[in-house]
Amino acid sequence: MSRARLALIAFLPLLAPQPALAEPAVETVTDDLHHPWALAFLPDGEVLVTERRGRLWRVDPATGERQAIDGVPEVDHRNQGGLLDVLAHPAHADNQWIYLTWAGRCDGGNATHLGRGQLEGKRLVDFKTLHVATPCVDSRIHFGSRLAFDRDGYLFMTVGDRGERDRAQDLADHNGSVLRFHDNGRIPADNPFVDQADAEDAIFSYGHRNPQGATTHPQTGRVWIHEHGPRGGDEINIPAAGENFGWPIQTYGREYAGPEIAPNEVEGVIGPLHHWTPSIAPSGMTFYDHATTPTWQGNLFVGALAKRHLARLQLDGERVVSEKQWLKEREWRIRDVELGPDGALWVITDHADGRLLRLTPD
C-alpha cells in the first residue's frame, strides 16, 4: 500500500463526526402552551414562561406543573404583538423584581412597553410601566422586545423598527434601537445621546431592524443581540454606545420582491459579526457557560423560526468559526433558548400547542 494511501487512512478518523457536535437528547417538560414567547429562570430553578396572548406561567422544572401569575399588564395581542419578554433581576433572590416587555396600546396605535413588578407567589405586585418606546405606531409588527442585563447592572431593551424602516435611523424615535436603563428605568447620565437635543436619551445604539435575541457574554459581560433581516441579512451584533448598525442604509438583506435594499458595507456604519443569508428568522439566544457539558462550553445557541432549528455556533473570540443545525427534523419554530441552572439548554417552541423543552447531551 502506498504511503499516500496510508496517510489518507490515518487521516480519515479526523473527518468523522465529532461527539461535540452530536444532537442533544430532548425532553418535553410541559406542552399545550399557546404561542409562548420567552422563558426565564428564577433563583430556585423554577421557570417563567410568557404567552403572547397575555399569560405568564410559573413552571416547576421537575414536574412540568404550572401556575398562572396574576398582575400582568393588558397587552395588544395582534399579529406579532402581545406579552413578550420576561427577565428576573440579577438580585431577584433579594428583591423579587421581574421585568416584562409587551405590545401595549397608546396614542395613535401601540408601542413596545417595559415594566417591572415583584413576584409574590402567584402574583406580580407593585407593577409599574418603566418605559414606552415612542412614538406610538399603527403597526402590528417588529416590536423587538428582548431584555438583558450587562455585567455593570445596566438593563438593555431592544425595539424593532415597527415595519417602518426609516425610523431606525431617526434618533428622535425609539423604534429601531437598543435602549439602556438603570434597573429602575431611569436613563443613565452617560447614555450617548443624553445631551443631544434632537435625540432620545434612552437610545444606546441604532440602525436595528427587529432584534429578537439578547444575551450577556459570560466573559466580557457585554450584551450581544441578533436581529431579523428582510430576506437574508439576519445579523449578530454587539451594541456599542452611539453606534449606527446600518438598517436600512446597510444590509445584506433584500426586498421581499427581489432587489437589493442597500450596500453590504457603508463607511461609518458597524457591520455584523455574523449574518445569515438566506434568513433563518432568529429568535432567542444564549451562551453556554456551565461545567456540566464541556463540549458545549462557550458556544452560542440561537433559535430559528423560519428554518426551524436550533443553531449551535462555535466561536473564536467574536468570530463564528462553525455552525451546526440541531432539531431540524423536528420542524419546530424555536422562539427562545436559555441556559438553565442545571446546565441543560431550555427551549420553547412557537406554536398554538407550544412546548417547553430540556436539552441535554445524548
Is the per-residue pLDDT at 20 higher than 70? no
- Which residue ranges make up each domain of the chain? 24-361
Active site residue 142: yes
- Burial (CB count <10 Å: 0-12, 13-18, 19+), residue 44: exposed
Q: What confidence score (pLDDT) does residue 203 get?
A: 99
Q: What is the pLDDT of residues 278-298, one digit of tens each?
A: 999 999 999 999 999 999 999
Beta-carbon contacts of 245 under 8 Å, excluding residues fewer than 6 positions away, are: 205, 206, 207, 208, 235, 237, 239, 269, 270, 272
Q: Which of 142, 174, 217, 309 is catalytic?
A: 142
CA distances from 353 to 33, 34, 35, 138, 333 (A): 5, 5, 7, 29, 11
Element containing residue 27 per DSSP (H, E): strand 24-33
Interatomic CA distance for residues 9 and 183, integer angstroms: 59
- Amino acid 128 reads K
Is the per-residue pLDDT at 270 higher than 60? yes
Q: Is 114 helix (H, G, I), strand (E, B) or coil?
A: strand
Q: Is 12 helix (H, G, I), strand (E, B) or coil?
A: helix
Q: What confidence score (pLDDT) does residue 112 get?
A: 98
Q: Is 310 helix (H, G, I), strand (E, B) or coil?
A: strand
Interatomic CA distance for residues 15 and 146, integer angstroms: 39
The C-alpha cell at 120 is: 409574590
Q: What is the pLDDT of residues 94-115, one digit of tens each?
A: 999 999 999 999 998 999 999 9
Is the per-residue pLDDT at 8 higher than 50? no
Q: Label residue 22 by pLDDT band (50, 70, 90).
A: confident
- Burial (CB count <10 Å: 0-12, 13-18, 19+), residue 196: middle
Q: What is the pLDDT of residues 321-347, one digit of tens each?
A: 999 999 999 999 999 999 999 999 999
Q: What confidence score (pLDDT) does residue 21 get?
A: 64
Interatomic CA distance for residues 55 and 323, integer angstroms: 34
Interatomic CA distance for residues 40 and 112, integer angstroms: 19
Beta-carbon contacts of 27 under 8 Å, excluding residues fewer than 6 positions away, are: 357, 358, 359, 360
- Burial (CB count <10 Å: 0-12, 13-18, 19+), residue 25: exposed
Q: What is the pLDDT of residues 39-56, one digit of tens each?
A: 999 999 999 999 999 999
Q: What is the pLDDT of residues 111-145, one digit of tens each?
A: 999 999 999 999 999 999 999 999 999 999 999 99
The C-alpha cell at 296 is: 458545549
Is the per-residue pLDDT at 186 higher than 50? yes
The C-alpha cell at 132 is: 414606552
Architecture of domain 24-361 in this structure: 6 Propeller (2.120)
The answer to whether the beta carbons of residues 282 and 226 sit under 8 Å apart is yes
For the chain, the average pLDDT equals 94
Average confidence (pLDDT) over 269-276? 98
In the block, cell 429578537 appears at: 212
Q: Label residue 15 by pLDDT band (50, 70, 90).
A: very low
Average confidence (pLDDT) over 260-282? 97
Q: Label residue 196 by pLDDT band (50, 70, 90).
A: very high
Q: Label residue 228 by pLDDT band (50, 70, 90).
A: very high
